[in-house]
Amino acid sequence: MDKLKMHSPNLTQENIARIRELFPGCVTEAQGNDGQLRLAVDFDQLRQELSESIVEGPQERYHLNWPGKRESLLTANAPIAKTLRPCREESVDFDTTKNLFIEGDNLEALKLLQETYLGKVKMIYIDPPYNTGKDFIYKDNFTALKEEYEKASGERNEEGGRLVSNPESRGRFHSDWLSMIYPRLSVAKNLLSEEGLIFISIDDAEQASLRRVCDQVFGEQNFVAQLVWEKGRKNDAKFFSVGHEYMLVYARNITFLRERGEIWREEKPGARDIWEEFLRLKRIHGDDYRAIEKDLSQWYSDLPKSHPAKKWSRYKRVDQYGPWRDRDISWPGGDGPRYDVIHPVTKQPCKVPERGWIYASPEEMQRQIKLGLVEFREDHTEPPFRKAHIRPISEESNDDLSGSDDGAEEGGDDTEFATQVRGSYFYKQSQVAVKYLRGLMGAKVFSNPKDHEELARLIEYVTPHDRNALIMDFFAGSGSTAEAVFSANATFGSNHRFIVVQLPESLEDAVSSTTGSAKKTVQAAIKMLKKAGRPLILSEVSKERVRLAGMKAIAGGGHETWNRDVGFRVLKVDSSNMTDVYYRPDTIDQTQVDAFVDNIKPDRKSEDLLFQVLLDWGVDLSLPIRKDTLQGKSVFFVDENALVACFDAGVNEELVKQLAGFEPLRAVFRDNGFVSDAVKINVEQIFKQMSPGTDVKSI
């Protein structure tokens, strides 16, 4: 039952609402004297709407603005005193995997990764909260001025980094969402390589705002496409069935992609099946191409009508290059070159096509004939035709096959492969991903997971020349991107690696704030985690999905060139390993010095220190780590000689000399870890003599 307002109406807000009906562009969000956001009239814009001539006012400029924008920019740039702590027990193949699963606030994680992965990420895919009024968004509240940061060592308060609901009735409905997404995109941009791309899923609620934010962050000139992902009809809709989502695609530097001639193509469905059948028949019949043609024709006939290879049945002829069909040999558009082409049997010049030959010179025509890519007719009274071969994109390149087909009937140039440019619209029913994930995990633990197979296709599509790309997702959700990397690698033989970030939000808190099917989903996730004996947090569900997906990928075999890395190294965002005195020694008076002899927090382990050193030095966090014992001390070798670290106490000169003998690129020790001040003083001198190229530091 609705309640009475029990107060007089707010006439101003009602009047503004009426104005918005007539002039929606003249009403915006503004901050009142009480600090609260409410609807307000842009009187300069309203005057212009009501005037027949240009009204003088503030200087016009095209830009996106909202209450809280400056604060969100400050949030993006504010430093933090945080670190990433390794968690071996939650990882899979910790010592050898190249994949990272980061648990924590994604903005903090992005900031921590900036130095290490600056300009190294090929592709970012994110599926942020859609701001439907029911989804939860990140509520950031840990910005600080430089002076406050120095005083508090960059720690945010207890309210920062939480997921909060953002109902449409809230005055800051759009502003809060923009303030959340803007700093994350700003920091993420720094991680993209020169040829990097970002894909962002979004729906109608914030699509327009997100497009303008991305124009501002990445540059309008770097817009690549706005894809439409149709997920199925909604029959309960009152007006139109809005069953689609968008995917905005921006490049880090689209000029760079164009200058290096970047072209994206994907295999036409069914091409790989035909090629594999040809190879199977060739193993049976050898070079008896007539026998191969007969069996291939029968194979086409036996295919069900729904099979994608069925439409390629015109490729029934076979030669040493594979299945082929005939194709026109005349110059597109007419006015092509005209010269004599002698028929091999009649020895007479063949009839020249009305539009002229497609090959510019007699020499090129003869080259094609010698390669066996021109098929003559019975006599010279008709022009010969070209052979158009079908081969999957993954087959090794052969420049001699310049007469093959990539679908030039649709206007494409001749290439070796049966490929096509991807359209901006694609269909994949949303329930496919839901059913798949339910089958993988034994329960419906995510309401709207992204389809990992579609994401795998996208990854393969935009990485044609990079088989070892770094893929990132800092709204990991169900872990679809991680599984998409596994799927792409297993299917196409690439060895991409991922960094995914997920917030460790309490599921018990979430279940109390949700209703209906969403609540049942959270309850199913809690039940699953309890059975597995894991903490009841959102990131644990994501990790479990990635574990199961990895095992499934390995069980499926996969491409022979795939390295079969389905592990992930779990790292958790946490406060710095260093005590406050490390950042603000001037705040400690002489009477407190003895209490701060050790500047490292007592609950931190040597491996915690190692990863903070890796972050500080900008060393790849996925490099292999080997722990050894030398002279009774624990020593870490990162990628053998990329970095050598010893954080034990009592380090003597003999150990220092032994470590210098490895000639590492970097060496690090605990500042108070030496057996004496004399050893500490001699460390740099020892390395200068034995390994002058080593960068030596202490913490």
> What does 388-422 look like in DSSP terms, one character per residue?
EE---TTSPP-TT-TT--S-GGGTPPP-SS-EEPP
Q: Which pLDDT score is estimated for 653? A: 94
Place of tokens 């002698």: 342
Give the pLDDT score at 73.
78
Tell me phi and psi for residue 349, to 5 degrees. Answer: -65, 135
Out of 82-86, 264-268, 442-446, the most confident range is 82-86
Q: Is 679 helix (H, G, I), strand (E, B) or coil?
A: helix
Q: What is the model's pLDDT at position 57? A: 65
Q: What integer pLDDT is reported at residue 188 of this predicted model?
A: 96
Residue 407 pLDDT more than 60?
no
Higher-scoring residue by pLDDT: 538, 167: 538
Average pLDDT, the chain: 84
Given this model, what pLDDT does residue 148 score?
A: 44
Percent of the chain whose pLDDT exceeds 90: 56
Q: What is the pLDDT of residue 391?
A: 75
162 has a pLDDT exceeding 90? no
Instruction: Indicate if the pLDDT at residue 428 is higher than 50.
Output: yes
Q: Residues of CATH 3.40.50.150 domain(s) within the chain?
A: 74-225+244-264+424-572
Average pLDDT of 87-98?
95
Residue 166, pLDDT score: 52
**Closest by Cα among 543, 499, 541 to 522:** 541
- How far apart CA 369 and CA 400 sit, in angstroms, is 11
- Bigger pLDDT: 502 or 430? 502
SS3 581: helix
pLDDT band at 47 (very low <50, low <70, confident <90, very high): confident
| Single-letter amino acid code for the residue at 207 | Q
Q: What is the pLDDT of residue 331?
A: 92
The structure tokens 């469905």 sit at 269
What is the structure's pLDDT at 140? 59
What mean pLDDT do residues 184-205 have?
Answer: 94
Q: 59: pLDDT confidence band, cut at 50, 70 and 90?
A: low
- What tens digit of pLDDT does each residue of 622-652 get? 999 999 999 999 999 999 999 999 999 999 9
Distance of CA 20 to the CA centre of its chain: 39
359-396 per-position pLDDT tens digit: 999 999 999 999 999 999 999 999 999 998 887 665 54
Region 74-225+244-264+424-572: CATH code: 3.40.50.150
Q: Check residue 163 and give its pLDDT.
A: 53
Instruction: Give the mean pLDDT of 84-110.
Output: 95
3-state secondary structure of 226: strand
What integer pLDDT is reported at residue 33 of this predicted model?
67
pLDDT tens, residue by residue, 528-552: 898 888 889 999 999 999 999 999 9
3-state SS string for 228-284: EEECCCCCCCCCCCCCEEEEEEEECCHHHHHHCCCCCCEECCCHHHHHHHHHHHHHH
User: Distance between CA 101 and CA 13 in Å, rounded?
Assistant: 47
Answer whether residue 401 shows pLDDT above 90.
no
